[in-house]
């Protein structure tokens, strides 16, 4: 681990980059995922079709392909080129790799959020929706004020699991020019071949520092929800 200690600044940079990607993409994916879940249970046919198609296509193709798609196909299809910027936010130089990672992970994780939220919506009895409807609430009001608050309760533990997977998925950005934890592991171990084990242990620990508390929280919450039922 000597090499990691010597390069503590690089390790810190990778750690903050992983956190930045995870948090920003996580928040965006949550919002987009809930919207998608709304699409999928809405009475508007085209929205349901769009939601189902989007979720099934994205969920069945790998995240790596999403990166390749954003990198190569968006400019060719719609002419959007992500500009190279060198702005620094929270100590992370936000280059193309980071922006790709945020967009790709948002689009990808949202499908899992959608499925989890939808399973929560399915667990709320239809009578609740009917009651909301018969009080004269619109679809949006029924969903936001009656269904989702009840759905979220049972859905928090699996949602945390989705976000644990999401944080680990941010590692794919290492293959696409983002200097996050795995990229740091790669770079340092190429420079210090004698200390590879230590470097990987350290980077692994850095991930566990984020993911283990979350999955323990998920387990605890699951017990609580199970008891309350």
Partner 1 sequence: MSAPRQVLYDVPGPKAILRDKVFTAVFTVVMVGLLALLVYSAYTRGIFDDRWQVLWDPQKGSQNAGDVWHALLVRGLLEGTLKAVVIAVPIVALTATVLVIARASGNAIMRALAYLFTHVFRGIPVLLTMYFGVLALGLSPLVSVVLGLVVYNTAVVAEILRAGIAALPRGQREAGLSLGLRPLSVLLRIQLPQAVRIMLPALVSQIVVLLKDTSLGFIIAYSELLTVTKNNYNYFGEPTTVVFVAVAFVIYIAVNMLVSRLAHWLEGRLSRTRTSAGVGDVPVAPPGGVMAAGAGANTRA
* Gap between the Cα atoms of 175 and 186, Å rounded: 10
Q: Which is nearer to partner 1, 77 or 87 (CB)?
A: 77
Tell how strand 88-89 and strand 92-93 pair up.
antiparallel
Q: In this chain, which of 16, 42, 93, 96 binds partner 1, going by CB under 8 A? A: 42
Is residue 127 within the footprint of partner 1 (CB under 8 A)?
no
Q: In this chain, which of 89, 91, 122, 135 binds partner 1, going by CB under 8 A? A: 122
Residues 43-82 that bind partner 1 (CB under 8 A): 43-48, 50, 56-57, 59-65, 68-69, 72-73, 76-79
CA distances in angstroms from 65 to 5, 112, 208, 212, listed in the order given: 34, 17, 26, 28
* Gap between the Cα atoms of 149 and 172, Å rounded: 33
Rounded to the nearest angstrom, the gap between the alpha carbon of residue 131 and the centroid of all alpha carbons in its chain is 34
Question: Radius of gyration over alpha carbons of the chain, in Å?
Answer: 20
- To the nearest 10 degrees (0 to 180), the angle between helices 45-59 and 96-123 is 120
* Gap between the Cα atoms of 18 and 3, Å rounded: 20
Is residue 4 within the footprint of partner 1 (CB under 8 A)?
no
Is residue 19 within the footprint of partner 1 (CB under 8 A)?
no
Q: Which is nearer to partner 1, 88 or 155 (CB)?
A: 155
Q: Which of these segments, 21-29, 82-90, 99-107, 180-188, binds partner 1 (CB under 8 A)?
A: 180-188
Shortest distance in whole angstroms from residue 199 CB to partner 1: 8
Is residue 189 within the footprint of partner 1 (CB under 8 A)?
yes
Is residue 109 within the footprint of partner 1 (CB under 8 A)?
no
Q: Which of these segments, 28-36, 86-94, 95-103, 151-159, binds partner 1 (CB under 8 A)?
A: 151-159
How many other C-beta atoms are found inside a 10 Å radius of the C-beta of residue 167? Answer: 21
């Amino acid at each position: 681990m000597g090499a990691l200690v010597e390069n503590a600044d690089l390790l810190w940079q990778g750690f903050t980059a992983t956190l930045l990607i995870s948090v920003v993409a996580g928040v965006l994916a949550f919002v987009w995922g809930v919207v998608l879940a709304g699409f999928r249970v809405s009475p508007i046919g085209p929205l349901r079709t769009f939601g189902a198609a989007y979720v099934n296509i994205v969920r069945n193709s790998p995240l790596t392909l999403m990166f390749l798609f954003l990198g190569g196909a968006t400019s060719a299809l719609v002419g959007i080129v992500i500009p190279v910027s060198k702005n620094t936010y929270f100590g992370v130089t936000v280059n193309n790799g980071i922006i790709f990672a945020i967009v790709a992970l948002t689009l990808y994780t949202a499908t899992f959020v959608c499925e989890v939220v939808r399973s929560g919506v399915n667990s709320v009895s239809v009578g609740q929706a009917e009651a909301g409807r018969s009080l004269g609430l619109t679809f949006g009001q029924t969903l936001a004020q009656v269904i989702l608050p009840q759905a979220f309760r049972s859905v928090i533990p699996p949602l945390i699991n989705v976000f644990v997977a999401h944080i680990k998925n941010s590692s794919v950005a290492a293959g696409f020019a983002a200097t996050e934890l795995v990229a740091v592991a790669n770079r340092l171990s190429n420079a210090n071949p004698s200390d590879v084990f230590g470097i990987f242990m350290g980077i692994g620990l850095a991930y566990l520092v984020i993911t283990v508390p979350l999955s323990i929280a998920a387990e605890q919450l699951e017990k609580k929800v199970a008891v309350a039922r």
